[in-house]
Amino acid sequence: MQDLKTICQNACLVAGEAGTLIKTERQNFSMGAVEIKSFNQLVSYVDKTAEELLVKGLSKILPDAGFITEEQTIATEQKEWMWIIDPLDGTTNFIHDLPVYSVSIGLMHQNKVVMGVVYEVNKDEMFYAWQNGGAWLNGHRISVKNNPDLNKSLLATGFPYYDFKAMDQYLNTLKYFMKNSQGMRRMGSAAIDLAYTACGRFDGFFEYGLSPWDIAGGICLIEEAGGLVSTFEGATDCVFSKSIIASSKALYPAFAGVIQENFNK
């Protein structure tokens, strides 16, 4: 087995380099640089350049690993070790100069996420975790909030922005949580939502219509911070599922129960 702690430390350095690039480019960024990949899916040269930097840096850490990347600057080739990266999670925020976006890196070994890094660029917060090594934020150990009471929880979600087939179920879920929690937040970066849940800023997070690069790094953070992740159906293998529920073990039954009741009718 590889030394996951050392791999994680090196991956944090690469994530920091990508974050510096993103922050620098934001200073003179123009809307004219924005491209439309598909409906409500935006991209710019910053995403692509940051991804190229990440691929180059991570390839040096694990030369034989494959990649799953959002911008497809490198072909996906299935291997024992797989990097799953989002060079700029929260592209729409970045484009509109809303300072909530991140670099997300996950590492899978034989289809199990064993390491995760989420770098919140503007706050300079490096969240990282590796299997059996705990979850950390800038050198300090973090854990999910041990709160079993939905009525005392602050929850996060992501609004559907291209996949609207479950809109009614989503709105019913949102309505319940609005009435039975201390509030809902929508940051615009699933990686940050997961990182904030891992360190206890949020009690729980749910979203559907996601891609592996949105959540791979954050999944490891949640698990190593003592929380639970699952699909809307309750399966624990959710990297490729397009839906995720994340919370503490204490809150999970009540939190997931509401989501599953609405979405699995």
Q: pLDDT higher for 40 or 167?
A: 167
Instruction: Tell me the mean pLDDT in the region 252-261.
Output: 96
- The residue range of the domain holding 209 is 150-263
Question: What is the count of structural domains for the chain?
Answer: 2
Q: pLDDT higher for 28 or 214?
A: 214
- Regarding whether 124 and 169 lie in a shared domain, the answer is no
Calculated CA dihedral for residues 227, 162, 37, 192, nearest 10 degrees = -20
Does 35 have pLDDT greater than 80? Answer: no
Query: CB neighbours of 257 closer than 8 A, spacing ≥ 6?
Result: none
**How much is the pTM?**
0.94
Query: Using CA atoms, how far apart are residues 161 and 156, in angstroms rounded to an integer?
Result: 16
Mean pLDDT over all residues of the chain?
Answer: 93
What's the pLDDT score for residue 37? 67
Stretch among 20-29, 48-57, 224-233 having the lowest mean pLDDT: 20-29
Mapping DSSP onto H, E and C, the string for 124-167 reads CEEEEEECCCCEEECCEEECCCCCCCHHHCCEEECCCCCCCCCH
- Strands lying side by side in the sheet with 184-185: 184-185, 155-157, 204-208, 243-248, 227-230
- Regarding whether 175 and 113 lie in a shared domain, the answer is no
pLDDT band at residue 144 using 50, 70 and 90 as cut-offs: very high
- Regarding whether 192 and 134 lie in a shared domain, the answer is no
pLDDT band at residue 71 using 50, 70 and 90 as cut-offs: confident
Quickly list H helices, the chain: 4-26, 45-61, 91-95, 167-179, 190-198, 212-224, 252-263
pLDDT band at residue 39 using 50, 70 and 90 as cut-offs: low
Stretch among 28-42, 57-71, 180-194 having the lowest mean pLDDT: 28-42
**At residue 52, what are phi and psi to the nearest 5 degrees?**
-60, -40
pLDDT band at residue 38 using 50, 70 and 90 as cut-offs: low
Stretch among 26-35, 135-144, 192-201, 254-263 having the lowest mean pLDDT: 26-35
Q: Of 111, 142, 173, which marks where a domain is finished? A: 142
What's the pLDDT score for residue 31? 73
For residue 60 the two structure tokens come to 């040096």
Q: Of 142, 169, 202, which marks where a domain is finished? A: 142
Query: CB neighbours of 92 closer than 8 A, spacing ≥ 6?
Result: 40, 42, 188
What's the pLDDT score for residue 163? 75
Instruction: Tell me the mean pLDDT in the region 207-232.
Output: 96
- Regarding whether 205 and 164 lie in a shared domain, the answer is yes
Query: Using CA atoms, how far apart are residues 85 and 172, in angstroms rounded to an integer?
Result: 32
pLDDT band at residue 21 using 50, 70 and 90 as cut-offs: very high
Query: Using CA atoms, how far apart are residues 194 and 144, in angstroms rounded to an integer?
Result: 10
Does 200 have pLDDT greater than 80? Answer: yes
Does 126 have pLDDT greater than 90? Answer: yes
- Regarding whether 112 and 13 lie in a shared domain, the answer is yes
CATH classification at residue 189: 3.40.190.80
Does 60 have pLDDT greater than 60? Answer: yes
Query: Using CA atoms, how far apart are residues 1 and 218, in angstroms rounded to an integer?
Result: 22
What's the pLDDT score for residue 219? 98
In contact, 118 and 221? CB cutoff 8 Å: yes
- Regarding whether 125 and 20 lie in a shared domain, the answer is yes
pLDDT band at residue 165 using 50, 70 and 90 as cut-offs: confident
- Regarding whether 134 and 14 lie in a shared domain, the answer is yes
